Amino acid sequence: MLAYTIRRLLVAIPLLIVSTFVVFLLVTFSGDPLANLRTKQPPPSPQVIANYRHMLRLDQPVLVRYWHWVTGLLHGDFGPSVQGGGTLDIGHALFQRILVSLRLVIAAIIIAMILAVIVGTISAVRQYSIADYVFTFTGFLFLSLPVFWFALLLKEGAIWLNNHIGTGFKTLGESSPIVGPGFGSHLVDALEHLVLPTITLALTAYAAWSRFNRSSMLEVLGSDYVRLARAKGLSRSRVLIRHALRTALIPFVTVTALDIAALLSQTIITETVFQWRGMGDFLFTAIRALDVYAVLAWLLFAAIIVIVANLIADLLYAVLDPRIRYD
Amino acid sequence: MSGELVDGVVPPSVSNRANVLEVENLRVDFPTDDGLVRAVRGLSYTLAPREVLGIVGESGSGKSVASLAVMGLLPKNARVSGQVRFGDENLLGLSESALARYRGEHIAMIFQDPMTSLNPVYTVGWQIAEAIRAHRNVSQRAALEKAVELLRLVGIPQAADRVHNYPHEFSGGMRQRAVIACAIANDPDVIIADEPTTALDVTVQAQVLESLRIARERTGAAMILITHDLGVVAGQADRVLVMYAGKPVEVGTADDVFYRPRMPYTLGLLGSLPRLDVGGRRRLTPIQGSPPSLINLPPGCPFAPRCPMRQPICQQEEPELRPTDHPGHLAACHFSDSLVGVAPSDLFRPTARDDVLPEDAGDSAAPEVTA
Amino acid sequence: MTSRPEEPLDLSSPGAPVQGMSLRQEAPPPSAEYEFTVRARRQWQLVLRRFLQHRLAVASLAVFIAVVLFAFIGGALWHYNYQQFTGDYSAPPSLKHPFGTDAASHDTFAQVLRGTQRSLEIAIFVAIVSTAFGTLYGSVAGFFRGPLDSVMMRVVDLFLTFPLLAVAAILGDQLGPKANGWFWIALVITALTWPYVSRVVRGVTLSLREKEFIEAARALGASNARIIGRHVIPNVMGPVIVTVTILVAAAILTETALSFVGFGVQAPDTSLGLLISQNQTAVETRPWLFYFPGVFIILIALTINFIGDGLRDAFDPTQRRVRA
């Protein structure tokens, strides 16, 4: 298993290199990083523009720029940034943002998975019951909700409640600007800010997962081994949990692991609505600022997440299914 | 109706109250998009202790549905009526948890496809131990030891090691033997084996049947052996029940059914069976056509469209199961009396396609006819 | 799990061939083409029949068609243009302005019509182009297998490592303001969604390859191009159509999200996502500006998802069966 993991990671390296190269070309040719500078009023002196050109290595061929970028990465240098007057440390800034986003993503994934397993299982066991129809409809509804619209709705609803009932929902940012002393109050403050974005993200993620769990449960419930388990005289709960759910979780866990990468898109939208200073804000600000290296750093991180999620999915498969052995 | 008839005429040895299982007028319907499928249309039989009853029929004759109904394992949309008496209890209508006490403990079941019968994520031993612990208050360790013993009994070599294997590490025949071990784990009174050898290679079939025989003798269980293969029934069953279109069409001792069939369908089945015990070369005489759809079954005998001796009455009136000239031997045919001494080849013909074969089929040209 | 030729399955749905070949034994095989057309017609009839039994899907199809007609014909008939200043500022819904007006006196109904039309155009473009390309790509990779397949699938892996929304935002930032902004946005989303189609198609093709009728066609001397065109692609259409419905719903949501964060369709053009973005501060004071565009996004995505569910059941009825 360890050997397999190492081999998989080694195989991922060429993919990552090609991926970064394609991304590098894409970002390089998607626009002029100095366009904002050139249209500035009053116009900056040609010397300033030339300085930026040199700092961003625009005076060098593309391949050389890529080479500089990659070798820089190996030393932990993510390249120069046009933001903050050229002083922004991309690596450091991105890392801070990732930590902020990670809270949201992890909380949402845990809630979404629990919800999906419960709802999907009930739906499958009580197929064509009223509960199944209700769960199916709400599942499809959340599958079809634009995440930003739902987030805005929640946010406005929370504001309305705050104003009329006096609840204390936190609707802006990932933390309050002024927090009382001590770790405890910071933690409480962070959790309070987590509530609404987590609900948004969890509900958008759970929808597809619960549908998947329902169909994989249905397949297992119709299987011969579940019928044999019943024929052995096992209790209903044991048949459902030890035989049906245990086996249905194999594809379910794999699919959710793969989906975590896709959850990134929903996360950055949710963050935008709740004005979190997380990865979403980092990316969108970098794009608007035409900050090539900041965008590259973000995409590199996203690609690593995708590759790692794929690996985790494969490893989980092997852990859960004795028929799969990687040696 | 047919149930009372059975009770009235079966020999005393079988009809006494000591029967382990009595099925009476069992009916199973499935509502579908195309109409109501009448899968079982009134099935009655009794099973004495240690008796082996073979239930024979084609796919769709209702034989598997009927046995699943006995176990209460039918899909939720199935409509079941009639009686399934085990001891003094009617199993039909019992709750799922009440039924679970009978399943495995008193009535065990073996399914057709050993490749999918075992849960792929647990070891074989764990699954056998689970069956034991469902009904016995023993430790996991003791249950596993019993599992090893059971695997040895059904003929798994190196059972002590094999008990820790996963199903995918077993061959098909071994898996079916593991399922048999599961079935006998609690010394059941009845084993229902639903096509236990159909999915297996011919060479393995005999081994599995042997394991089944050992298992039956060791536990003293009665058995219902469901198959479409008369050859499997021949060596095993005390009595045989032939099903067609959801109804029993002939019931009797194995000798009655094999040597004195009184229903054209049974004759047809026998004629389709390659035999080595009858000397000389002989053409197979298959039954033409296919079984009827069980939705909107027309009146009359369901076998009439395929029957070479049908008469006008056959298309108007469905024959009841009636006693024949032998006690305990019943047949559902208007003309069962006229079948005395009739051989399959008198009724059915070799298919036209076979006739294309050269006349000298007796030579080495067409060995597959008798092989 | 898999259906066995045993009661009650084969009774409850007589001859339900999903990918199977139920008529093969009955029809004499004079040529593979003939055999195929007979079977295909039967299969499509069955699919249609099963689809019509899914009431929610049929109702969704009706609603979806109504929305499409509303967007494409309604815009031409409605007496306001989406860019026109009507002189009614922030008016609540009325007979004159069914969806009210915004602070600049635009008629929201006209804007929603236009936005729906744009969002649908993009989604339909994505559906058609990514299906066509993904199907061709996936069936070629799955059919030829070997090194070609490996290389082609690594390219797919590469595409899938890019987070859709992020790459779309980077490109949309540059392409969105162009003259045909919506077209470029559609092209970007297509470029990022076709790999999903090609993966599904490749998987189905790999299993189809082993089927007897492909062997039969090859034995009859059919060329590879002909086998792919006449035998593989028609048989993967079921899974593809289901995947595509999911993609259309996803494309609508992606486009609106992209426009919402400002990297999609740009003013003076409009889309449903842009409308919500422009009016997000108005939820409490002028809720009509916020709710109507949102409801239309949900209506489109929800009906497409239900249609997809109906099609999935129609193409693969195994999940609807109840079994012991």
Higher pLDDT, B1 or B224: B224
Q: What pLDDT score was predicted for residue B58? A: 85
Give mean pLDDT, residues A185-208. 88
Higher pLDDT, A124 or A87: A124
Segment A62-117, tens digit of pLDDT:
888 888 888 888 888 887 877 766 677 888 889 999 998 998 999 999 999 999 99
Q: Which residues contact B355 (CB under 8 A, 6 or more apart)?
A: none
Q: What pLDDT score was predicted for residue B158? A: 92
Give mean pLDDT, residues C272-290. 80
**Can you tell me the distance from the alpha carbon of B201 to that of B173, in angstroms, rounded to the nearest whole number?**
8
Whether the predicted pLDDT of B56 surpasses 80: yes
Segment B114-124, tens digit of pLDDT:
888 999 999 99
Q: Do C85 and C104 form a contact (C-beta atoms < 8 A)?
A: yes
Q: What pLDDT score was predicted for residue C34? A: 41
Which residue in B has a C-alpha nearest to residue C4's C-alpha? B113
**Can you tell me the distance from the alpha carbon of A22 to that of A300, in angstroms, rounded to the nearest whole number?**
11
Q: What pLDDT score was predicted for residue A116? A: 94
Whether the predicted pLDDT of A22 surpasses 50: yes
Whether the predicted pLDDT of A235 surpasses 60: yes
Q: Binning pLDDT at 50, 70 and 90, where does residue B160 land? A: very high
Q: What pLDDT score was predicted for residue C242? A: 80
CATH topology of domain C116-317: MetI-like fold (1.10.3720)
Nearest chain C Cα distance for residue B283, angstroms: 24
- Nearest by CB: B64 against C1, C7, C53: C7
- Nearest by CB: A148 against C163, C257, C263: C257
Whose tokens are 């048999």? That residue is B180
Mean pLDDT score across all residues of chain C: 77
Cβ separation A26–C171 shorter than 8 A: yes
A234 inside 8 A of chain B by CB: yes
Q: Binning pLDDT at 50, 70 and 90, where does residue B4 land? A: very low
- In sequence order, what are the beta bridge partners of B84? B23
User: A touches which chains (3+ CB pairs under 8 A)?
Assistant: B, C
Give the residue from A125, A220, A232, A319 with the most B CB atoms within 10 Å of its CB, the best one to mutate: A232
Q: Binning pLDDT at 50, 70 and 90, where does residue C24 land? A: very low
Q: What pLDDT score was predicted for residue A327? A: 62
- Nearest by CB: C1 against A147, A160, A223: A223
Q: Domain B21-237 belongs to what architecture?
A: 3-Layer(aba) Sandwich (3.40)
Whether the predicted pLDDT of A34 surpasses 80: no
Q: What pLDDT score was predicted for residue B221? A: 92
Segment A38-63, tens digit of pLDDT:
777 777 778 878 887 777 777 788 88
Q: Give alpha helix (H) positions in chain C.
A: 9-12, 32-53, 55-77, 108-144, 146-160, 164-175, 181-209, 212-219, 224-226, 233-260, 272-278, 287-315
Mean pLDDT score across all residues of chain A: 86
Cβ separation A306–C309 shorter than 8 A: no
Segment A240-299, tens digit of pLDDT:
999 999 999 988 888 888 787 778 888 999 999 998 888 999 999 988 888 888 888 998
Which residues does chain C have within 8 Å of residue B61's beta carbon, measured at their own beta carbons? 7
Whether the predicted pLDDT of C175 surpasses 90: no
Q: Which of A193-207, B29-43, C230-244 has the lowest mean pLDDT?
A: C230-244
Q: What pLDDT score was predicted for residue B143? A: 95
Whether the predicted pLDDT of B12 surpasses 60: no
Q: Which of A112-126, A252-266, B211-225 has the lowest mean pLDDT?
A: A252-266
Higher pLDDT, A180 or C297: C297
Segment B168-181, tens digit of pLDDT:
999 989 999 999 99
Which residues does chain B have within 8 Å of residue C8's beta carbon, measured at their own beta carbons? 30, 37, 39, 65, 75, 78
Pairing mode of beta strands B247-253, B330-331: antiparallel
Nearest chain B Cα distance for residue A149, angstroms: 41
Pairing mode of beta strands B247-253, B322-323: unpaired
Q: What pLDDT score was predicted for residue B278? A: 62
**Can you tell me the distance from the alpha carbon of B122 to that of A310, in angstroms, rounded to the nearest whole number?**
26
Highest-confidence segment of A168-172, B146-150, B340-344, C21-25: B146-150
Q: Binning pLDDT at 50, 70 and 90, where does residue C27 land? A: very low
Segment C45-67, tens digit of pLDDT:
778 888 888 888 999 999 999 99
Residue A96, burial from CB neighbour count under 10 angstroms (0-12, 13-18, 19+): middle
Give mean pLDDT, residues B211-235. 89
Q: Do C305 and A144 form a contact (C-beta atoms < 8 A)?
A: yes
- Nearest by CB: A224 against B108, B113, B186: B113
Q: Give alpha helix (H) positions in chain A.
A: 2-29, 35-38, 46-55, 62-74, 90-125, 130-144, 147-164, 183-221, 224-231, 236-238, 246-273, 279-288, 292-320
Which residues does chain C have within 8 Å of residue A26's beta carbon, measured at their own beta carbons? 167, 170-171
A83 inside 8 A of chain C by CB: no
Tokens of C289: 């500006």
Q: Do B69 and B26 form a contact (C-beta atoms < 8 A)?
A: yes
Tokens of B84: 């399934």
Q: What pLDDT score was predicted for residue A186? A: 80
The answer to whether B21-237 and B242-360 have equal CATH topology is: yes
Whether the predicted pLDDT of C97 surpasses 80: no
Cβ separation C11–B73 shorter than 8 A: no
CB pairs under 8 A between A and C: 134
**Can you tell me the distance from the alpha carbon of C58 to that of C76, in angstroms, rounded to the nearest whole number?**
27
Cβ separation C7–B74 shorter than 8 A: no
Tokens of A42: 């009053």
Cβ separation A146–C260 shorter than 8 A: yes
Cβ separation B101–A233 shorter than 8 A: yes
Q: What pLDDT score was predicted for residue A310? A: 84
Q: Do A252 and A228 form a contact (C-beta atoms < 8 A)?
A: no
- Nearest by CB: B104 against A227, A232, A236: A232
Q: What pLDDT score was predicted for residue C287? A: 77
C278 inside 8 A of chain A by CB: no
A254 inside 8 A of chain B by CB: no
Tokens of C287: 């809720």
- Given strand B190-194, what is the order of strands in its sheet? B107-110, B190-194, B222-227, B52-56, B239-244, B247-253, B330-331, B322-323
Whether the predicted pLDDT of C2 surpasses 60: no
Cβ separation B179–A228 shorter than 8 A: yes
Q: Residue C268: is the preceding peptide bond cis (ω within 30°)?
A: yes
Q: Which CATH number fits domain B242-360: 2.60.40.10, 3.40.50.1950, 3.40.50.300, 4.10.320.10?
A: 3.40.50.300
Whether the predicted pLDDT of B3 surpasses 60: no
Segment B100-115, tens digit of pLDDT:
999 999 999 999 888 8
Segment C292-305, tens digit of pLDDT:
888 999 999 999 99
Q: Binning pLDDT at 50, 70 and 90, where does residue C29 land? A: very low
Q: Could you tell me the sign of the dihedral formed by the alpha carbons of C107, C109, C112, C116, in that order?
A: negative
User: In percent, how much of chain B has pLDDT > 90?
Assistant: 44
Nearest chain A Cα distance for residue B295, angstroms: 24
Q: Which residues contact B255 (CB under 8 A, 6 or more apart)?
A: none
Whether the predicted pLDDT of C272 surpasses 80: yes
Q: Domain A91-290 belongs to what architecture?
A: Orthogonal Bundle (1.10)
Whether the predicted pLDDT of A118 surpasses 90: yes
Cβ separation B37–C4 shorter than 8 A: no
Contacts of residues A92-99 at CB distance under 8 Å and 24 or more positions apart, as own/partner, are A93/A282, A93/A294, A94/A279, A94/A282, A94/A294, A94/A297, A94/A298, A94/A301, A97/A277, A97/A278, A97/A279, A97/A281, A97/A282, A98/A279, A98/A301
Cβ separation A229–B119 shorter than 8 A: yes
Which residues does chain C have within 8 Å of residue A299's beta carbon, measured at their own beta carbons? 162-163, 166-167
Whether the predicted pLDDT of A210 surpasses 70: yes
Which residue in B has a C-alpha nearest to residue C1's C-alpha? B116
* DSSP codes of every residue in B172-216: HHHHHHHHHHHHTTT--SEEEEESTTTTS-HHHHHHHHHHHHHHH
Element (H, E) at C231: none
Q: What pLDDT score was predicted for residue B8? A: 40
Q: What pLDDT score was predicted for residue B10? A: 42
Whether the predicted pLDDT of B328 surpasses 90: no
Whose tokens are 């070479």? That residue is B308
Nearest chain C Cα distance for residue A146, angstroms: 6
Segment C257-266, tens digit of pLDDT:
988 888 888 8
Listed by start position, the domains of chain B span 21-237, 242-360
pTM for this structure? 0.82
Closest CA relative to residue A307, chosen from A3, A4, A14 = A14
Q: Which residues contact B242 (CB under 8 A, 6 or more apart)?
A: B56, B57, B248, B249, B250, B251, B257, B263, B265, B266, B269
Give mean pLDDT, residues C285-313. 87
User: C touches which chains (3+ CB pairs under 8 A)?
Assistant: A, B
Highest-confidence segment of B157-166, C50-59, C73-82: B157-166
Which residues does chain C have within 8 Å of residue A302's beta carbon, measured at their own beta carbons? 161-163, 166
User: In percent, how much of chain B has pLDDT > 70?
Assistant: 87
Which residue in C has a C-alpha nearest to residue A138's C-alpha? C302
Listed by start position, the domains of chain C span 116-317
Q: What pLDDT score was predicted for residue C13? A: 33
Highest-confidence segment of A6-10, A144-148, C211-215: A144-148
Residues 263-322 of A with CB under 8 A from C: 264-265, 268-269, 272-273, 283-284, 287-288, 295, 298-299, 302-303, 306-307
Cβ separation C297–A298 shorter than 8 A: no
B32 inside 8 A of chain C by CB: yes
Whether the predicted pLDDT of B155 surpasses 80: yes
Q: Binning pLDDT at 50, 70 and 90, where does residue C174 land? A: confident
Q: Which residues contact B290 (CB under 8 A, 6 or more apart)?
A: none
**Can you tell me the distance from the alpha carbon of B62 to that of B59, in angstroms, rounded to the nearest whole number?**
8
Q: For residue B240, which phi and psi values (nearest 5 degrees)?
A: -130, 140
Segment B273-302, tens digit of pLDDT:
776 666 556 677 778 777 888 887 888 888
**Can you tell me the distance from the alpha carbon of B226 to that of B233, in angstroms, rounded to the nearest whole number?**
8
Cβ separation C319–A149 shorter than 8 A: no
- Does residue A142 sit in helix, strand or coil? helix
Mean pLDDT score across all residues of chain B: 83
A243 inside 8 A of chain B by CB: yes
Listed by start position, the domains of chain A span 16-81, 91-290
